[in-house]
Structure formats: structure tokens, C-alpha cells
Structure 1
Amino acid sequence: MKFGTTLRRSVYPPWRDQYIDYDKLKKLLRESDDDDKPWTADDVTEFTEELANVQLEKVYNFKKETAKKLRERTTACEKKLEPLAIGIKAEESNGKGKIDGDSEDPSYADVAAEKPEVGAGDKERILREVRAELDEITKEVKELETYSRINYTAVIKATKKHDKLRGRSYRLRPFINARLTEKPIYTEDHSPLVYRLSAMYSFVRQSLEGKPKEALSFAESTTEGEGSTSYKFWVHKDNLLEVKTVILRRLPVLVYNPQTSQIAEGSQRDPTITSIYFDNPDFSLYTDKVTHVPNARSLRLRWYGQLAENPNIFFEKKEMVEGGASQEKRFTIKDKYIQPFIEGKYHMEKSIQKMEARGNQDQQEVAAFKKATDDIQRFIKERDLQPVLRANYTRTAFQIPGDNRVRVSLDTNLALIREDALDQDRPCRESDDWHRRDVDDRQMEYPFKGLRKGELYDFPHALLEIKVKGMKKYEWIEDLINSHLVKEAPRFSKFVQGVAKLFEDQVNTFPFWMSEVETDIKREPAKAFEEEQQRKQKAAEDDFAVGSLFGTRASPSYRASYMSPAQHSPLAAAQDNDKNTKTVEEADSDSEGAQAAVTDASPFARSTGLGSLFPSFSTSKYARRKKETQRKVQLPPGIRHPGVWIKDQGPVKVEAKVWLANQRTFIKWQHVSVLLASLSLGLYNAAGENNVIARTLAVVYTLVAVFSLAWGYGVYMWRNRLIRERSGKDFDSIVGPLVVCVGLVVALCLNFGFKYHAIVTEREEQQNATMPAVAAQATALLQEHIELLRT
């Protein structure tokens, strides 16, 4: 299906005028123009202006404004539910006080007393109105996600058409990628809003059912150890060594033998993993995965090392279930049976017979194996699946042997290779074989130089995946995922990335991260810190809004910051069946991952100096960070300020460079003071008794020198005290340098003024002294002339 038809079918009628005008772009591109009119620079400018500034700007502004309205409507729903939540909390608080015999907690009771009590009829009416509004908001959130994705695809398609037809002298793709980074029209930024909607749905539903107390215990049923969370990141190749160093300080490298799945005794290089993904000519599995269709499924073959080494080959089917978790079915198969299995001629009879012949094999395990093979074979037949993509990469695993609470994998040298036979004239793989013989028989390795152009895509970054089991937090993981060393890549999939790049003409939708892959992901540490602070603040606001409905000290999403609500369900049954296998044989995860949201941050103390007088003025390069963190945080009910932070307890341990930096600054001030004192002394001695101006300025310079000395000592002692107290205040102090600079400028200006005045006065005196002599001489000459006239 052509993309133009797909775009027209995807239009949401109320937003019809806000979509990209794809037909106009094709007209400007003159795709179907048969005349010989040359393509000029003006045509390039017109097309680029229309695509990058008009159409892209229109979509970005509409998406931004619509998302803002949806958040405002969600907040309005929360405010409508707030009186109901306060009434429930106040009632529970009073009841608890009577049972326990303690004084009643005024946190909710006082607030409830200030608001009028909501009657039963009004309560049900409010709940039903909010539920109807939530249905509309949820519908528009879904439509907005579809709107963003289809317009993003339109931009990519139009850009590709330009580069294919008119890109001989100028390729537009890099410029459009940069514009998409500036104006992101397709991002995964709806998760916090969806979670707030989910929380309100739960509250409304259980309140209408007469079970509000269950809503107050939301997200408390998950116990530690029942689930795991996956975090995915991109790592720039320049940061690989530093990331490995950070991980190696906490976790050892897990080295294993892919043949026996046992931990190797000797040293060996990191294993190479190969995955072959299945799909049909319509790429329906890819489309379902990109568009987040419920129960989206994927199928692949996976093995370690070279196929010539006869490794264990795993046939794996993964299905996304409700809530975002996944279920996996897999079994091992020999390479000679793969093609007959795909064609439906072999049903794993030999493996089943061997399992039954052992006698001691659990019947449930045999039945599960039969069910898995039948399900995968039926899935291949129903969806007309065939191998289409190969992913080859080197994996470095980090894990404490026997302890799977934290597992980290780092994939490098990711090569995505076409494995299809869709083009009958130039098939990449023989249609009657399940894999590429040219790659496996020749034992090709990265960078696969023997492949033809267009069959290989070299992914530019490394992939980092962190799996945390349970809800325990690890400080070093938080520091790593919030640092500049990694870039979050939620929902990233090797299969989706490979199809989107290598089959760009055959698909009509693209993942949201496509434009970011080809841009530079390196970030400055200060910028990464500022972005993280902004993200924490936004997450804290959303968490507080959700938590206010359930009476929790923090919202459910805060409590489950390492475990997303989508992953609260138990692990997949297939994973449970594989618990007895070695840790190194954990399935290679390629599913969507959850992103942690850390919300607790300590505000900095107020700054001193000019910053306290002019809050908007600061010389610190972290001024924006301070403005964000200095905002007053309203503590939830039942929470009070600790008085003394944990960081301020225990003995003071300060690095020597901190003390030396403070001393070095004091020595600089002494240096300035000595220079000014020497200047004033020299000026005073050279001035003489009659030069009052020079002697006065020498005294002024002496006063500035004394001030510099006193100020340097005072700042030194003040910073010394802050270091000992482990204060969070800003060490910047600009008053002293300003005073010294202003004093010197004023002294120089006065010196110039006095000198100029003295010169002018001296000239006037000289003129006044010569005037009487000239007048006498003129008078004498005049008298002589008079005498001559008389004679």
C-alpha cells in the first residue's frame, strides 16, 4: 500500500487540517512531472521551506498545544476527585485514631473540615462525569500518538523521496534529522500522563464499586522479587570504556562457554550473538510492534558464536500481554530441522520421543514443549512468516555469579543484515533455506565486508541494558542512568531498527527514535544534570498529583520507580520453566523496557551575596539548576523535614584539593593586595611635597590594597567554614572583585580629571601673566605714533 493512502486512512477527522499536506510536498517535488524543466536551487529552497518550516512547524505546534490541553484536562479531573479522596482519607484517619487510641492526624481531617461534605448522590455524579471525561482524554491521547507517528513517517518519506529523486547535489536527510531533534513531533512522552489516567481510572472504578480502601492501597501488592525491570540506553563509542569502568566496580564480567552454557574456566573473548527475525512480506509483525498493538508478537532464531560450531539454536516466540509485560515460549532445535519445521513437515517428533523415553521427564514439561512447538508452527503458518533480518553483535555481560538481582549487558558492533528473499531477482537468502549460506558458510564476522551495498546497516552506538529484579534501589545505577554517559532508549528494538533502515521503502511507519540515531548523542555533564533535574521535577509533580488520590506519602509511580506499573505482573511462564537453566542462558531481551523515575532531590540552600539581592542575577554556570532546585517543595501530609541530612552526619572528610583551592584563592588576593600597595608606595614617594593629587591617589590605592587583603582573608575563612559544615550554599562571591575594580576605575578617572584640570589652570595662568606686558608695549607704540602725528 502506498503511503499516501495510508496517511489518508489514518486521519482523525477533528484534526484533518493539522496533518502534513503530503500531496503538496509531492507536487513541489515534481515526482510525476514528465517535462524537462530543470530542478534548480530555488526549487530546493521552496521544498525545504515547506517541509521543514511550514509543515513540520504546524505539526509540532499542534501536538504541543494538544498535549498541553490534555494535561490540563487531566489536572481538572484530579481536582474534581480531590474532595472525594480527602473525605475518604479523613474518615480513615479518624477511624484509625479511635482504634489505636492515638491523637487524630490533622493532615487530612483539617483539610476535609474546610471543604463541604460531598453527598452520596453528588459523589456518584462526580465519579461518572470524571469517568466520561477520562474516556475522552484517553481516546485523544491514543489519537495523538497515532497523529504524531503518521506525520513523523510522512516527514521521513518526503525526505527520502527528495534524496532519491533530487539529492544528487544536496541531501536533505541530515538537515531534517536536526530539525526533528529541535522540533520532536514523535516522542514517547505520554507515559506519565497515561499513568495518571490509569490511577484515576482505578480510583473511580473502585469508588463506584464501593471499594475505596482498595484504591488507597494501589501498587502495594507487588512484593520484592516478583518482577524485574529493564532499562535500555544508547552509549556513544567514546564513552564505552568509562561505562565499562563504572559497571566493573560493582559487577564482574560474566564469561561463559556457549557450547555447554557453563562458566568458562579460562579467559575468552566476549561471545557473538546472532538473531534471525521472522516477518511476512507485509511486515505485519513490525507494524504491530511499532504501533503498540495489544498482544504484539515476534519470532526469532538465536544462537551464540558461529553456526559452524554447532551451537544450541533457540526458537523463540515473544508476545506482549496486558500491562506491557511479555510472555515467551522457546525450545532448542538443530539446524537441519529448522527448514522442515518452518515448512510444517517436521513437528519435533524426535525431541518429544527422547523426552518421553527418559522416563523421569516431567509430563507437564513434555506437554509444555509440545504446546510451544505447535503454537510456534501454527503462528508461522497463519502469518506466512519467513526470515527477513539478521542481527549480529558482541555481548559483554556483567553479573555476580548465582545472583541475578542486577544483570547488565553491553552490546557492541551491532550489525543488522537483510535475510529476506522478497526480491526474486536479487534474493539475499535462498527461498528454500532458512538462513544465508554466504554469511554462515564463510563464517563472516563484523564488519561483514563481503556483503553488498544496501544489505548491511552498522548501528552507530552501543546498547546498554540494565535489569533489576525487585524494587530495591541501587545508587550507582541511578548515577549511571542519570549521567551524560548514556542516552535513554525506551522501547528500542533491534528488529524494529533493522527493518526501518533496511526495508524503508516497504514499510509505512517508523519508530520514534529514527531521527535521533543519526545525531550526536554525546552530552556535556552540566547539560545532562540540568535535564535530569527538570525531569525529576516534572515527575515529582505528576507523582504528587497521583499520590494525593490514594493517600500515599508518595505516589505509586514513586514507590515503583525501579518497576513500572506495566511490569508488576509475574514473570512469563516460559521464563519460570527456564529457572533451572544457567544464568548465562537468560533470553536475549529485545522487548520494551521501563524507564526509572527518580523523584527525591535535596534543594540547595539559598545563595549569598548579590544573588540574594537580585534573584534573577547569578554568575554561576549552574544558575538554572539552582532556580529549579530552590523552589519551595510542599511536603506531603505526614512528612516533616529531617532537620539534619544524612550527608551531614559522621566525620568531615574533605579532599585535599578542596582546601588547596581555597588557599590558592586567598594567595591570589594577597598578590593583588601587594601589587596595589607597591603601586601606592611608589606613587607617594615620587610625587613630592607639592604634588597633592598624586599623594591623594596614593592614599586611595593604599585603601584599596588594605580592602583586598581584608576581603581575601574574610572570604577564605567564610569558605573554610562552609567546607567544614558541608554546606550546599554557592561559593561564588563577586562583591570583592567588583569593589576592587570599581575603586581602581574611579581612581584612574579622578587621576585623569585632576591632571587635566591642572594643565588647563596652568595654561590660563600663563596667559594672564603675559597680558600686562603686551598691553604696556602696545600703549608705548601708540604714544609714539601720536607724537609723530603732532610733529
Structure 2
Amino acid sequence: MRFGQQLKSSLVKDWIYYYIDYEGLKEALRTHRAWDEKEEQKFVEQLERELDKVYTFQRVKSDEIVRRISASGNEVAHVVAKTDGEADNPTEEEFELLEEDLSDIIADVYDLAKFTQLNYTGFQKIIKKHDKSTGWMLKPVFAARLRRKPFFQDNYDSFVVRLSQLYDTVRTRGNPVKGDSAAGGKQQNFVRQTTKYWVHPDNITELKLIILKHLPVLVFNASKEFSIDDSAITSIYYDNTKTWELYMGRLKKTEGAEAIRLRWYGGMNSETIFVERKTHREDWTGEESVKARFKLKEKNINAYLRGELTPEKIFEKERKDKKRSEKDIAADEQLAREIQYRVLTRELQPVTRSFYHRTAFQLPGDARVRISLDTELTMTREDNLDGRKRAGDNWRRMDIGVDWPFPQLPPSDIERFPYAVLEVKLQTQAGQEPPEWIRELTASHFVEAVPKFSKYIHGTATLNPNRIKLIPYWAPQMDVDIRKPRNQAFGIQRPGASNDISTNGNLEDDSDDDDAALLPPADGAQDDETLRRLREARDTMEQHDLEQRRDYGTLSNGNGNGEGPNALDIEERIAAQPTAAEDYPIYDSDSEDEDDLEDARHVGGWRYRAKLVQHHVKQVGNAVANFATAVLPTPTPTNVGAGGANLGVPSWKQPGEVKKFRAPKGKRIHVPVRVEPKVQLATERTFLSWLEFSILLGSIAATLLNFGDSLALAAAWAFTILATVSLFYSAALFLWRVRMIRLRRAVTYHDRWGPSLLCLGLFVAVAVSFGVRLGEGGWKTGLKG
């Protein structure tokens, strides 16, 4: 959708005169006269008036929301105070009115955030159109004017936190849940499920407002006034810069893979640093992945990492104070000892820093549902590999803090992640489904599921393109727009009314060719009629889209792939979907053989010659196989329409979202592959079955040799050849599968040709026996007898 149409269809009707006059500014650029200094000044003055109008309205509306929140807070306090009295208790109607008022304020916050986003986009696009059509560069000059009237820099987190507190109080009728935010984390009869999603910046504020209606914002220090720095989280990840072993372990999800990081909350003046170790455990072990940590003063970090400060010394004072049990202190001391040993023996150094602001939603004392949203996610380099002293001998670099977006850093040192990261953690009893609103949220247009996403893996791979060759599966699709058509049935709605028109279509640059088509009609009634038709078309499209979503939900939940203790995870559900005619993985990497050949070429000698011969033989074999595939007749699948190859694929997927990705030159994509002991055992059982069949054929051949005639000899030869070929084929296939499993390669493991060829060979062997018998006339002898 072009921006002119997007703006017209997304505006709030009551605020229509306060939006940027995008069409008027475009009309000002359509002059037939030569663009000179006079025209430029006239356009700039018009642009300034529009900026002043938008900025003034945004400030007034923001102040109005602040006053409304304050007034609602007083009303909530007044009604809740009645619950403490013996008489005159508040009625249910009073709480319902308060909830309706807060919902109306929440809708205003959403409308203001959308207003800000649309107007900022409008200014950026009109400046781009001006510079392109006139040749006068206005962008750098107007950027300074935007900074003087930064209507787009308002952060709505303070609104979200305060509204969350009030809404939670009203929702619980004056009895909000209290308790330790970490409580409930050690319950055993729960199925724990963690899923990560990407959220487009356009949807962040609305998503927060939706979640706060179900879960309160988790505030650890309620007595302190909210500050944006309080939500800042920074982590420094360590690794060996020669082997990148911790990166490779976390990427491949090998059993026991570790991540070692140092984390602090708030600004750079934080004195408490958490030293953490995350250990990955495979599902088949029966254990869960573990994150363990202990606290250390910032001034002691360098001495600890160099081995000068021993774990015994760290916890010496804590033992004397006896504020914690000896068991807990001993566990932390053991953890400190193990981390220190790994840092020293594996030569770990700071490599990547991750920074973000986190908004966490959870009922205090209830960890069954926990949602965190990380925004302004940024990764920066901490290493000194290119000769630049970033961290130096310190455990972290000191030239940056929490001053996002870190404009002082060069592009090679920073990766500003384009999306927010939503993490949903559920603890449900066995057989119990998660809350309905969670299911709607994770199936909505707001989020894009990205299983196993890791900030450390993404940052390290992106910031070290010349050192990291194996990249995560999501890296090649970072340029794919994750926005989807808006589902009007799920989102912020004003009490007693439906939402104004709003879409999340891609905002394309306006084309000069259809400027005339985007001009507003002269007749106001005609304009209203156009808007009415747009609304009707929008509603019809979204109702159809919602029905298709529900159909998809029925398909995915009705075949055993829904929620529950034995449910398939996202990767397994994707793997279970039917494949297209081309049986290729969705991600292509550079051939491993080509990498091996390149490595062997540097070594030279017989190793290179052997690899070269192997490479050419494989090329010839592939050419023969491709020729045979093209020549030989193959069965044609029956066309069953949209329910066939696309069965299980959501209808709301945009074109280009599911496609074949290829890794950049010289790199390979790692696709997550789950490897359990039963996979190894299944491979062995398959090989033993082939071996058993080969032995059976060999026994038949040996028995036929005892008859001594030419028929028996021919049949024995046929069965012997078949048994030998079967034995070598199964052995080669077994070795290949074991190697692919060990390397965790996403390849096609099923055998498409072996069983068919075996049956064909057995038929040929039997046919040879009958053929020789018929050729010798044995059947005539049998008839005479």
C-alpha cells in the first residue's frame, strides 16, 4: 500500500486536521515552474507549518493523557479505599466504569503512538520526494529542525507502566497479586515452553498495551519512579577468538554447550555484576537447560577473570555474615570456580555486547505465564582483533553506556537489530492448554515466530563476517519484511466502538506516475463515500482472513500437533509439512565439499589430488543422475488445489515469505536439527535389517551352489551379486547417515531409492533363474515326466 493511501485509511477521524498535509505538500512539489530559491523557501515554510502543527498537537495530547491517567489514579484509589470499610463497599458497576475509562485511555495512547509513527513517516517520505524531484538537498537541514521539535521521540513506557498498575488493580477488584516475582519457578509437574518472536517497531506500543490488559508490568522496585534506564539490560559475552567454540556450541545446540556472560541492569554506574553460565541440555537427557549465576562487585571483575581473586575469597565475607545458607554459598562458590577455570583454560575474551530495554509482564508470585519484550536491541563489538583497543585489558569497553542508539560508534562496531524480541514463557500442567489470549497473540499479525533465536549468535555472526563461516538460519531472511495484514479482530479497541481503519501493509514510496490518483476528491461527500467503501472492503477482507486463520488453527490442532505435553514444537511442525516437487531444504549453503577442496588446495600434495578426483567424480555422478531424472518417467502428483502442497501453510503468509534462501559466498547456514539417541538407534536398526537381508540372500546363493547344474550356478551368481551390492550399499548409507547426524546437517535422511532397487534386484535374480531354466528346456522335461 502506498503511503498516501496508508495515511488516509489509518488516521483517527477526530484528529484528521492535525495530521501532516501529505497531499498538500505533494501538490506543492508539482509546480510547472523552474524550482528556484523562492519556490524552495515557500515549500520550507509550508513544511515548517506542518511540523509545528503536528508537534503542538502531540505535546497537547500527551499532556492530556498524563492528566487523565492521574485523574483515573485518584478515582481508582478512592474506589479501592471503600473496600477497607465495613459499609458502603464499591459496586461491580463502579469497577466496570473504571475499567472502561482505563481502556479508553489505553486506546488514546495507542492512537497517539500511531499518530506519531504515521506523521514521522510522512515527513521522511515527503523530504525524500522533495530531494528527488527538485535536486535541492533538504534532508540534512530538516533533520536538525526535527531534532528541535522531536514529536517522534516520546517514549510511552511510562504510560504503559502506570496504566498497567491501575488496570491490574481494577481487574483484580482492588486485590492485585503480590509476591516474589521469581516464585513458582521450581514446581515440578509443569511443562515449560519458551518461544521467541520478532515484533516490527510499528507494532511495539500496541502489543504492550494489549498484554498489560492481561498481565501487569513486572516492576521490581515499585517505590521508585519509573526511569527508562531502569529497564536497560546489558550483557558481555565471552568466547575464544581462535576457535569460537562457545559460539559454535550454542549455534549447533550440542549437548552441554555453554554460554558465559557478564550482565548488569541499569546504567554503567551499576556496582553489581552478575556472572552467568547457560548450559544447553538435549531433551533426551531428561534434564532442562540451566542458567546459573552469582553476584560480584564491578571492581573485582578483572581480578576474578585473571585468576587473581579466588572464589573462596569472594564468598569469605558472606560466610561470616551468615545471611544465606551454607548450601547456597557452596553452590555459588562451585559455579564461580568452574567459570573461572573455563575462562583461564580456554582463553576466553569479551567478544560481543548486547543491549536492550526490557518490559516484562508477569503476575508477582506466579511464573505460569511470563512475557518479556526487548526493544532497542543493539549488539556491539568488544574484541581487539583488528588492532583497535575496544575493551583493552578491561572486561568491557568503557566508551559506551546505555546511550542508545550509540551514534559515536562506527558502523563496523555496531549492529542495530531492526525488530523487538518477544519471549513467551509458559508453565502449564500436563495436558493443559495455555490461556486463549496467549494463543491469539502468538497467532496474530503482531509477531513472527523465530525458534531458537539468540542475541549472542546474531551479534557475533553479524559483527565478525570474516571470521564466522557458519551462520544461523534466520540470517539470510533479515531483509524480508515481517509485517502481515492486520487482523482487525485482535488489537486495541475503544470501549463500545470498533477500531478506526488501520493497516500494517508495506509502505512503498509514492510514484510520481500516480500522483493524480492520490489527490483528495474535491467533494467532501465523495471523500466520505470513498472512506466508507475502503472500510467495507477492509472488513470483508479481514473477515475472510480471520476465517482462514481459524481453519488453519483447526487443521494444526486437530491432528495431534496442538498444545500438550507431547506436542510437536515449531520446528517439528514445519518439518512435518508436505514438501514441494523439488525435495530441497529451504536453506541452501555452500557445498561442504567445496570448502574441503579449498582447504586441501592450500595444503597441496596427494590430499589435494584425492579431493580433486573425488570432486570431479561427484560432479559426473550428479550430471548422470540429473540426466536420468529428466529422461526416466516419474509419477505425477494429483492436483488437489489450495489444500494440497500448501496444506498447513497459513493463508496470510505474504508472497516472498516462504522461499529458498542461499548463504552468502563462503558461508554456510546452520539449520537447527534435533538429534536424540533414538535417531542413532534407528540408523543402526536399519543397517542391521539390511545386513540380515544380505545374509539371507547369501545363504540362498550358497544353497543353490550345492545343486551343481548350470541353472543353480546362474541363480547363485545372481543372488550373490545382489547380496554383495546390498551389503556395500547399506554400509555406505549407514556411514553417511552417522556422519550427517554427528555434524547435525539438515539433509534428507530417508532412503528414496534403496528399497525399490533391492526389490528390482530380487526380481532380476528370480527372473534369471526362470530364464535359464526355460532356456534349457527344463519345463519340457518336467511336462514329459
Q: TM-score, normalised by structure 2?
A: 0.39
